[in-house]
Chains A and B, each alone.
Chain A
Amino acid sequence: AQSVTQLDSQVPVFEEAPVELRCNYSSSVSVYLFWYVQYPNQGLQLLLKYLSGSTLVKGINGFEAEFNKSQTSFHLRKPSVHISDTAEYFCAVSDLGSQGNLIFGKGTKLSVKP
């Protein structure tokens, strides 16, 4: 069975500093990978996705992620964070046999401090 591990439950960072949110997955088949953001009292918004092709994926709000098949990782990065990036971030995976259903990690709370 697939699983997703988000290695940090909370990440505090100062405004304008870089940030990396880590995600590892376990799957024996080809996967599709996603990062979603959830602001307080809201649903999930897609930040970016890896389907195939280039392993460096760029998303909205200046975020990017790199797919590393050998390390089964899909870490999310931003070179300079803003206060408005404070939210919970979820890594998710799906594969061809799952009709597009997503398996989520437990989430990482990013707190950006002034």
Chain B
Amino acid sequence: ETGVTQSPTHLIKTRGQQVTLRCSSQSGHNTVSWYQQALGQGPQFIFQYYREEENGRGNFPPRFSGLQFPNYSSELNVNALELDDSALYLCASSLGQGQPYEQYFGPGTRLTVT
């Protein structure tokens, strides 16, 4: 059984640029959630995708957008990067939406915005 994988591991971007982060779900999982973890903080929910549709969103601006593909892999896109976007971005997959499905987390992508 393959776990959740994320790419790239690390990324450095300049303010104003755009970035795409990728996530492959654990085998058999059809739901993906994305979280932002700033330094010294707990993860914050960005949004969730279930069967290719956005299924819930946290308090993040529209420049944070996502996609889920038919194979349930997912992308997180961030436009017009700001310095405060520097964080660890975590992807989590689960089987089904809603409760009480356990979320399996990937190792994260460390984004640095300069």
Give the residue of A42, A49, A103, A104 whose beta carbon is less than 8 angstroms from that of B107. Answer: A42
Task: Return A59 CB to nearest CB of chain B, in Å.
Answer: 12
- Partner-contacting stretch, out of B13-21, B37-45, B64-72, B73-81: B37-45
Number of interface residues of A (CB under 8 A): 27
Give the residue of A32, A46, A95, A106 whose beta carbon is less than 8 angstroms from that of B42. Answer: A106
The answer to whether B58 touches A101 (Cβ under 8 A) is yes
The answer to whether A41 touches B99 (Cβ under 8 A) is no
Complexed CA–CA distance, A49 and B106 (Å): 19
The answer to whether B42 touches A94 (Cβ under 8 A) is no
Q: In this complex, what residue of B is CB-closest to A98? A: B56
Complexed CA–CA distance, A55 and B107 (Å): 31
| Contact partners of A60 in chain B: CB under 8 A | none
| Contact partners of A106 in chain B: CB under 8 A | 40-42
Complexed CA–CA distance, A37 and B92 (Å): 14
Complexed CA–CA distance, A49 and B45 (Å): 19
Query: How many pairs of A and B residues are in contact by the CB < 8 Å rule?
Result: 72
Q: In this complex, what residue of A is CB-closest to B108? A: A43
Q: Is A99 an interface residue (CB 8 A)?
A: yes
Q: In this complex, what residue of B is CB-closest to A106? A: B42
Could you write out 6 A-B pairs with CB less than 8 Å apart?
A: A42-B108, A51-B99, A90-B42, A99-B50, A99-B56, A100-B94
Q: A43-B4, A44-B105, A104-B43 are in contact. List 19 more A-B contacts (CB 8 A).
A: A4-B42, A6-B42, A32-B99, A32-B100, A36-B105, A43-B107, A44-B43, A49-B102, A92-B42, A99-B48, A99-B98, A100-B31, A100-B98, A101-B45, A102-B43, A104-B35, A106-B40, A107-B41, A107-B42
